[in-house]
Amino acid sequence: MLFGRDKQTMPDPADALPGRDEPVAIQPAHLILGTPLDGPVPDGHEIAMFGLGCFWGAERFYWQLEGVHTTAVGYAGGYTPNPLYEEVCSGRTGHNEVVRVVFDPTVVSYAELLKIFWEVHDPTQFMRQGNDIGTQYRSEIYVYSDHQRATAKASLDHYQEKLSGSGFGDIATTIVDAPDFYFAEEYHQQYLHRNPMGYCNHGLCQVRFD
């Protein structure tokens, strides 16, 4: 049954959709940066991954940053291997829509990536962003190292102080170890480059935190 369930409730792993063994097909290179989407991480570079609502708009903020080697959108944090978009939308995979960022920390810091994360979505909402509601829209930071975890926690505390001082509620974002990442289908990659007038529910927050 794909419909009639609460899409803001994580499915039981035993009831998750089975998925498939083969990953989905994607284009070899980033449409703007020209770098491999699924290539080896260059020496000295790191990976960051964020869930902040619909991944179409979220990815665009990151590919525009100097020091970002490549970006890709995909699914993470669920139970179904190599899921398809329609399966994720059903709420029966447990996956989140995420942006994966490969970056050079000598050019752009992890803290700067976090600044984008906090300021282009509403971190006080967990499994929704505006009218987008469901487990796939949860606000999460996926960390790859102790350094990233400590930086993310300090950043969360900083932004909570700023939000509280401006009359906003508690941050609902969770910080978790990075799970497996599954690439989304090719038509999702750099979606707003393919569709310049396409749907995007991200925007800079009215409250600035500089």
Instruction: Give which of 122, 136, 98 is closest to 171, Cα–Cα.
Output: 122
As a whole number of angstroms, the distance between CA 33 and CA 125 comes to: 31
Joined tokens for residue 97: 């829509």
Q: How far is CA 203 from CA 22, 124, 194, 200, in A?
A: 35, 15, 19, 8
| CATH C-level class of 42-194 | alpha beta
Segment holding 84, helix H or strand E: none
Which pLDDT score is estimated for 5? 63
Question: Confidence band (pLDDT; 50, 70, 90) for 172?
Answer: very high
Task: Please identify which of the residues 54, 89, 200, 205 carries the catalytic annotation.
Answer: 54
Check if 54 is active-site: yes
Chain mean position to CA 156: 16
> Which residues are CB-contacts of 63 (< 8 A; sequence separation ≥ 6)?
30, 32, 33, 71, 190
Q: Would you tell me how many other CB atoms lie within 10 Å of the CB of residue 154?
A: 12
Which has the higher per-residue pLDDT, 204 or 17?
17
pLDDT at 207 over 50: no
Q: How far apart are CA 35 and CA 15, in angstroms?
A: 38
Instruction: Quick: pLDDT tens for 100-127.
Output: 999 999 999 999 999 999 999 999 999 9
Helices (H) and strands (E) in the chain, counts: 5, 8
